[in-house]
Structure 1
Amino acid sequence: MTSELNSKEATLKFLETTDFYELIFMANSERKKYKKNKIELCAIVNAKSGACPEDCSFCSQSLRWKTHAPAYPLMDKYEILKRALEAKNYKVKRFSIVISGIKPSKQEMKKIAEAIETIAKNGIKPCASLGLLNYDEISYLKDYGLQRLHCNIETSEDFFPKICTTHSFLDKVRTLEAAKKAEVSVCSGGVFGMGETWKDRVDMAYFLKEFNVDSVPINFLTPIKGTPLESQPVLSPLEALKIIAMFRLILPDKDIRICGGRPLLGEFASWIFISGANALMTGDYLTTHGRSYNDDLKFVENHGLEVDHVVP
């Protein structure tokens, strides 16, 4: 990491005064130093959708917003495994089970654990995004093969109450702490372009650095009709790339994973790797379409990079 980034205040000044292309050059150098030319692919299944009682302002699955998001109960483990095996065929290394709601019921936890077990037995790294779990719940899933828990902090602690009031930033932190205690890999990032400032972004990056997360998913807001953020202006491609570069420079040895909102980059989509990203979520997202597995494999190959898909 460049010596200029030794505090939040210094980082903000650095971001304000450094030429965009110089910033990108530094981020790309850090990516190559720590991640070589390997790109990791992950995919998800929206295993339980909609009917969520929470009020996250960016999410189409909340009961509080009038959207067209699908609503259905938890998939059975065979359907989840089918999706995971399809992803594996396209060099996807990690596959995550994602559900709506604050956390699974006891009955749902058992079904999810069984699905995790079948995924692990088929040579795929199982991940899960299941809301606000505690230590016992995470340990239970780990016994079935859970390798990584995903729980986004979404934004800075200061900005968080402006996007969600039904749970707190601290609730998120407790889940991350429980995952660490259970010795499960941690994936945590958030959504950008919700109205947060650069200070919020820097605060968030330093929190994740201090917490020593393993993977940082970066999502760019796609305003969804019916949500409170439906009229929020989208980020410019260059601002989005600058966010990626900042996270690489602050967390130089971590996986910087580009997830939702990639289409807003337009003709600059090919810049995500030279901006510091070394991982992609491929396939569809929760309630919006992504890029096909084939398209992303070609995307990585066309950049002279290699997909890291070997499962130890």
Structure 2
Amino acid sequence: MIKNESKEMYLKILDKLNFYDLIFTANAVRKKYRGDKVELCAIVNAKSGKCSEDCSFCAQSSRYKTDSPVYPLVDKDELLKKAIEAKKHKVKRFSIVISGKKPSKQELKQIGETIEHLTKKEINTCASLGFLNYDELCYLRDCGLQRVHCNIESSEKIFPEICTTHSFSSKVQTLEQAKNAGLSICSGGVFGLGENWSDRVDMAYFLKNLNVDSVPINFLIPIKGTPMEHRTPLSPIDALKIIALFRLILPQKDIRICGGRQLLGEFSSWIFIAGANALMTGNYLTTQGRHYIDDLKFIENHGLEVDFVVS
């Protein structure tokens, strides 16, 4: 960790430091605080489409015409099947994700029963369910839920340009309520939404002050039919610099590379050198990811070890 750090200092580092020096510095920080182990997580799109919100990058919003699938909440036996498959491939944490602002009472009950089912099979559970209140979070915790995911998406400054149907503060409140309920929290965002480097530094500091446990980093892959469909994707170099920035500002946290990894192309093997120590494997919400076996080989080929301990 850099002493006497400040937001302005990191902006100067990004401006002045040679790209390779930045990456190798981040790699040294990763090795110091996280070692040479890589943690895998996987998600299931447990309820898809017809979302009332207007997040400008998301294919699941009912406001946009996309090819995103639409279906109701998947039953617990099917979710268990997917979770067991992930666990067989050394996935440490399995997350249930649904579209929409929050689940109905019946959906919440069904999700709670599913989490109980997964917990009995010694599967570490996470959930991304929108804006739950304290009592709802405590119910899921008592069912066995360990972690709550809720991305802040970008900096507070530009959030209104990304979404108008809910606020940045509503996301933060959900994360704070999850912490109050004794749950681990996972929060990051999507990069390439029009933010600048100052926004990225602000976002990293916000997550640092919130003391999140895991930071998912997604890179925008523009989806036809959304307001972001014509946005130019980030360059691989900028994507790697973002990973390095977050590692430097959050040295002891899990920096998890998720959606949009294909944007890196031939630079994909640099993600660990840039500071990442965790991956989302398998498919994403509305786009294909990488097969578990491919990512296990990917990690092994880099001389790293999968962090797989059921807690």
Please tell me the TM-score bracket, short chain as reference: over 0.9
SS at match of 1:180: helix
> Where in structure 2 are the equivalents of 1:56-135 lying within 5 Å?
56-135=55-134
> Where in structure 2 are the equivalents of 1:189-268 lying within 5 Å?
189-268=188-267
| Separation (CA, whole Å) in 1 of partners of 2:302 and 2:13 | 29
Deviation at residue 228 of structure 1 after TM alignment = 0.1
SS at match of 2:208: helix
Structure 1 runs (4+) deviating above 6 angstroms are: none
Aligned to 1:147: 146
TM-score (ref. length: structure 2): 0.99
Matched, 1:2 2:41: no
| Separation (CA, whole Å) in 1 of partners of 2:9 and 2:131 | 34
SS at match of 1:275: coil
Deviation at residue 3 of structure 1 after TM alignment = 3.1
TM-score (ref. length: structure 1): 0.99
Q: Deviations over 1:71-96 (max 9, x none)?
A: 00000011111100000010000000
Q: Deviations over 1:226-249 (max 9, x none)?
A: 000000000000100000000000
SS at match of 2:155: coil
Calculate percent identity across the aligned residue pairs: 71
* Counterpart amino acid of residue 311 in structure 1: V
Q: Deviations over 1:9-35 (max 9, x none)?
A: 111111111111111111001111111
Deviation at residue 104 of structure 1 after TM alignment = 0.3
SS at match of 1:43: strand
Deviation at residue 299 of structure 1 after TM alignment = 0.2
Aligned to 2:14: 15
Aligned to 2:47: 48
Pairwise CA RMSD of aligned residues? 0.7
Aligned to 1:270: 269
Deviation at residue 2 of structure 1 after TM alignment = 2.1
* Counterpart amino acid of residue 3 in structure 1: K
* Counterpart amino acid of residue 212 in structure 1: N
Unaligned runs of 5+ in 1: none
SS at match of 1:79: helix
* Counterpart amino acid of residue 83 in structure 2: A
| Separation (CA, whole Å) in 2 of partners of 1:59 and 1:183 | 30
Range with greater deviation from structure 2 (48-57 or 131-140): 131-140
| Separation (CA, whole Å) in 2 of partners of 1:71 and 1:181 | 33
* Counterpart amino acid of residue 292 in structure 2: Y
* Counterpart amino acid of residue 36 in structure 1: G
| Separation (CA, whole Å) in 2 of partners of 1:182 and 1:301 | 37
Aligned to 1:187: 186
Deviation at residue 207 of structure 1 after TM alignment = 0.2
* Counterpart amino acid of residue 305 in structure 2: E
| Separation (CA, whole Å) in 2 of partners of 1:222 and 1:308 | 28
Q: Deviations over 1:182-209 (max 9, x none)?
A: 0100000000001101111000000000
> Where in structure 2 are the equivalents of 1:279-290 lying within 5 Å?
279-290=278-289
* Counterpart amino acid of residue 2 in structure 1: I
| Separation (CA, whole Å) in 1 of partners of 2:119 and 2:216 | 22
